[in-house]
């Protein structure tokens, strides 16, 4: 009898532990368990209405994440979706360069005045991320960066999680990192309700998107208005 009671208590403790971990994970991503999420995805650079295969993989990762919380996902194209995310947590995937994701450009302009994404050209600053005084260059397939920001627009009741990578690979790397190490990132932040971080993707030729690391918390610089 004692062993049965002990086993039941252990099972209940483990179940409670898993439940608490899921609640903390849901809170980090801004997802309300059981409520739908919105994913707005951009285009392959220079090819309107074509989504890069790596961004398709990101959508699949987000859908799997939402599924952990019993939430469904609705996917929209940045070409056509307009309006507020209202009562749905929004995941907006892709950078604004070349109008790959025009919604990202709108979010940056409206909510992250301290962030700039430089245009594509032949110079060393092509597609660089600039946050305050920090500059993150784009070294394609060698070392790349992604910016991830969370904020709630005044017209919405749920947050936006913006994933603005220098490439589709950087987008996937950022989501992959946060799914695995959200607790570590959360401890480095002042608040999980509003934040902006930079993710570094090194050694791409060896490890692809899987070696991504948390580079810096740039919340204050990103949301600061001049």
User: How far apart are the C-alpha atoms of 147 and 216, rounded to whole Å?
Assistant: 10
Listing from the earlier edge strand, what are the strands of the sheet with 89-93? 73-77, 37-41, 89-93, 160-165, 144-151, 195-201, 213-217
- Residue 185: what pLDDT? 97
- Residue 79: what pLDDT? 87
**Domain range list for the chain:** 2-223
- Residue 132: what pLDDT? 92
CATH architecture of 2-223: 2-Layer Sandwich (3.30)
Task: Judge contact between 36 and 88, C-beta under 8 A.
Answer: yes
Helix or strand or coil: residue 103? helix
- Residue 134: what pLDDT? 93
- Residue 91: what pLDDT? 98
- Residue 103: what pLDDT? 95
- Sign of torsion, CA 12 14 17 23? negative
- Residue 121: what pLDDT? 87
User: How far apart are the C-alpha atoms of 186 and 140, rounded to whole Å?
Assistant: 28
User: How far apart are the C-alpha atoms of 179 and 61, rounded to whole Å?
Assistant: 9
Q: Please, what are the averages of pLDDT over each run of 10 residues along the chain (226 residues)? A: 52 55 93 96 67 86 95 92 95 91 95 95 90 95 97 97 96 96 96 98 96 97 88
Strands 160-165, 144-151: pairing is antiparallel
- Residue 12: what pLDDT? 44
């Amino acid at each position: 009898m004692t062993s049965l009671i002990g086993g039941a208590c252990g099972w209940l403790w483990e179940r409670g532990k898993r439940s608490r971990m899921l609640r903390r994970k849901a809170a980090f991503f801004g997802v309300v368990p059981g409520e739908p999420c919105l994913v707005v995805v951009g285009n392959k650079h220079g090819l309107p209405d074509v989504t890069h295969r790596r961004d398709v993989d990101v959508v699949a990762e987000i859908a799997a994440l939402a599924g952990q919380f019993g939430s469904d996902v609705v996917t929209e194209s940045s070409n056509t979706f307009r309006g507020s995310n209202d009562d749905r947590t929004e995941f907006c995937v892709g950078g604004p360069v070349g109008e790959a994701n025009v919604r990202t450009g709108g979010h940056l302009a409206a909510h992250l005045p301290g962030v700039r994404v430089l245009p594509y050209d032949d110079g060393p600053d092509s597609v660089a991320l600039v946050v305050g005084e920090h500059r993150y260059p784009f070294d394609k397939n060698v070392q790349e960066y992604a910016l991830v920001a969370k904020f709630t627009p005044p017209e919405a009741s749920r947050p936006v999680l913006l994933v603005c990578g220098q490439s589709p690979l950087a987008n996937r790397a950022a989501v992959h990192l946060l799914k695995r190490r959200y607790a570590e990132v959360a401890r480095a932040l002042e608040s999980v309700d509003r934040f902006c971080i930079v993710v570094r993707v090194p050694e791409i030729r060896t490890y692809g998107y899987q070696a991504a690391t948390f580079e810096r918390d740039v919340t204050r610089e990103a949301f600061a208005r001049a």
